[in-house]
């Protein structure tokens, strides 16, 4: 008898950050986590998570919209599905965060039912440690310097600096101070989160090259592919596409325009494992390097991103899966494992982490449920 999905739950769980995370669109002081649990008729469960940074600022989705889309549209569509059925790319148009949360939960459930790691279900299984970047996004330069020194002592050799919230001259001066403090052996990257104009981005190119910046992430608004292509043509600093890279269509447009030399992967913005892997395959075929970003997830969401990394996706620039170290609380019984300068994909079936369901319920500010064993309204 086939195993069926009989119940689906989702919770909105706000979790504070250990310090403000200053980005071009504002300073984030907490992360809005949405967790999904898929339950099979034998009682087995699978979990997924996406994180929204304070509201519909980074993308159009908020924690409230993710919960509503899951409850009204996605959950009713998959109740009764075979646990082992391949997860469809989407059941709704857009809404990649909502789609991703459900996709990760279903993938975790399916892999646990088979007794294998989720990465092995997705592709080649290579659970090697992933080089880890720390993001410097403090509200003052002294704060960044203190934090950089602390993380350097803990083995970090990669730092990404958030820019775009200050005037360009202040950002460049800050980068120069950080480069001098960290030394020439550290890999330094910058991320403007769409915060620069074409003029500012163009003016930044020569100073960034002089500071030996490894890449400049999303210097322009996501729809300005022409501007990104012009910047890439004008500099030897690789342009990294993040907000501009959501769908396979986006990836094709960026490659056709030679608008980015690095693709920043995030399961949430791609809508789940399958579309993310399709984009990575296209990137590999065209010589585009990979980097695994984050939305400041707990150990659950981080484990999902690490399953993607361990499924054979080339990540020349490593990852920035520091979420569990920046959040004030975690939602799994045991966190993902870090070592100096690296993060380790969990072993074990599914995503390899066990969620503390009692803590999720205690911290949640909203909960929705669809139970296939009860008549739905």
Q: What pLDDT score was predicted for residue 222? A: 95
Spatial contact of 345 and 122, defined as CB atoms under 8 Å apart:
no
Take residue 368 and report the two structure tokens written for it.
């929705």
Domain co-membership, 144 together with 275: yes
Residue numbers of the domain that contains 106:
5-116+357-371
Domain co-membership, 150 together with 217: yes
pTM of the model: 0.95
Domain co-membership, 28 together with 168: no
Best CA proximity match to 277, nearest among 320, 249, 312: 312
Domain co-membership, 110 together with 256: no
Domain co-membership, 161 together with 300: yes
- Mean pLDDT calculated for residue range 247-271: 98
- Classify residue 352: in a domain, yes or no: no
pLDDT band at 301 (very low <50, low <70, confident <90, very high): very high
- Classify residue 68: in a domain, yes or no: yes
Burial class (CB in 10 A: 0-12, 13-18, 19+), 88: middle
Q: What pLDDT score was predicted for residue 90? A: 59
Higher pLDDT residue, 20 or 170? 170
Domain co-membership, 180 together with 132: yes
Q: What pLDDT score was predicted for residue 54? A: 81
pLDDT per position as a tens digit, 62-75: 999 999 999 999 99
Work out whether the CA dihedral 329, 330, 334, 335 comes out positive or negative.
negative
CATH of the domain at 215: 3.20.20.120
Domain co-membership, 44 together with 137: no
- Mean pLDDT calculated for residue range 334-342: 96
pLDDT per position as a tens digit, 158-198: 999 999 999 999 999 999 999 999 999 999 999 999 999 99
Q: Is 281 helix (H, G, I), strand (E, B) or coil?
A: helix
CATH of the domain at 34: 3.30.390.10
Domain co-membership, 327 together with 184: yes
- Classify residue 265: in a domain, yes or no: yes
pLDDT above 50: residue 277 = yes
Angle between the N-to-C axes of helices 198-210 and 168-182, in degrees from 0 to 180, rounded to the nearest 10: 20
Q: Is 375 annotated as catalytic?
A: no
Q: What pLDDT score was predicted for residue 89? A: 55
Give the whole-angstrom CA distance, residue 287 versus residue 283. 6
Count of beta carbons in the 10 Å neighbourhood of residue 44:
15
- Classify residue 376: in a domain, yes or no: no
Domain co-membership, 91 together with 131: no
Point out the catalytic residue in the list 49, 217, 297, 320.
320
Domain co-membership, 107 together with 144: no
- Mean pLDDT calculated for residue range 117-138: 93
- Classify residue 213: in a domain, yes or no: yes
Point out the catalytic residue in the list 162, 217, 266, 269.
162
Give the whole-angstrom CA distance, residue 192 versus residue 203. 14
- Classify residue 96: in a domain, yes or no: yes
pLDDT above 60: residue 375 = no
Domain co-membership, 208 together with 322: yes
Q: Is 269 annotated as catalytic?
A: no
In terms of DSSP bridges, do strands 26-40 and 5-23 run parallel, antiparallel, or are they unpaired? antiparallel
**Displacement of CA 316 from its chain's centroid (Å):** 16
Total domains in the fold of the chain = 2
pLDDT above 50: residue 376 = no
Domain co-membership, 103 together with 152: no
- Classify residue 350: in a domain, yes or no: no
pLDDT above 90: residue 251 = yes
pLDDT above 70: residue 82 = yes
């Amino acid at each position: 008898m086939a195993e069926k999905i009989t119940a689906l739950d989702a919770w909105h769980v706000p979790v504070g950050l250990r310090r403000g995370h200053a980005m071009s669109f504002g300073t984030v002081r907490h992360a809005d986590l949405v967790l999904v649990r898929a339950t099979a008729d034998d009682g087995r469960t699978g979990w997924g998570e996406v994180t929204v940074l304070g509201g519909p600022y980074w993308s159009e989705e908020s924690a409230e919209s993710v919960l509503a889309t899951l409850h009204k549209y996605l959950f009713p569509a998959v109740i009764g599905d075979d646990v082992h059925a391949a997860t469809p790319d989407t059941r709704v148009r857009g809404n990649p965060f909502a789609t991703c949360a459900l996709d990760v939960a279903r993938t975790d459930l399916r892999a646990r039912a088979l007794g294998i790691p989720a990465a092995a279900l997705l592709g080649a299984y290579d659970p090697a440690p992933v080089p880890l970047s720390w993001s410097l996004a403090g509200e003052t330069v002294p704060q960044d310097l203190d934090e950089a020194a602390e993380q350097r002592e803990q083995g970090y050799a990669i730092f990404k600096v958030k820019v775009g919230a200050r005037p360009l001259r202040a950002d460049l001066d800050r980068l120069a101070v950080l480069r001098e403090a960290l030394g020439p052996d550290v890999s330094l990257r910058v991320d403007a989160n769409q915060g620069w104009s074409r003029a500012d981005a163009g003016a930044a190119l020569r100073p960034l090259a002089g500071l030996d910046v490894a890449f400049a992430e999303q210097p322009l608004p996501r729809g300005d592919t022409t501007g990104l292509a012009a910047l890439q043509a004008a500099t030897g600093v690789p342009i990294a596409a993040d907000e501009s890279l959501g769908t396979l269509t986006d990836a094709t447009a960026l490659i056709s325009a030679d608008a980015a030399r690095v693709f920043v992967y995030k399961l949430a913005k791609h809508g789940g494992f399958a579309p993310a892997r399709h984009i990575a395959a296209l990137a590999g075929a065209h010589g585009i390097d990979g980097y695994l970003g984050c939305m400041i997830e707990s150990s659950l969401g981080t484990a999902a991103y690490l399953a993607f990394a361990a499924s054979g996706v080339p990540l020349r620039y490593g990852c920035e899966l520091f979420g569990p170290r920046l959040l004030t609380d975690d939602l799994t019984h045991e966190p993902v494992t870090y070592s100096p300068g690296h993060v380790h994909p969990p072993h074990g079936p599914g995503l390899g982490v066990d969620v503390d369901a009692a803590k999720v319920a205690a911290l949640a500010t909203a909960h929705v449920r669809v139970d296939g064993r009860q008549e739905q309204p």
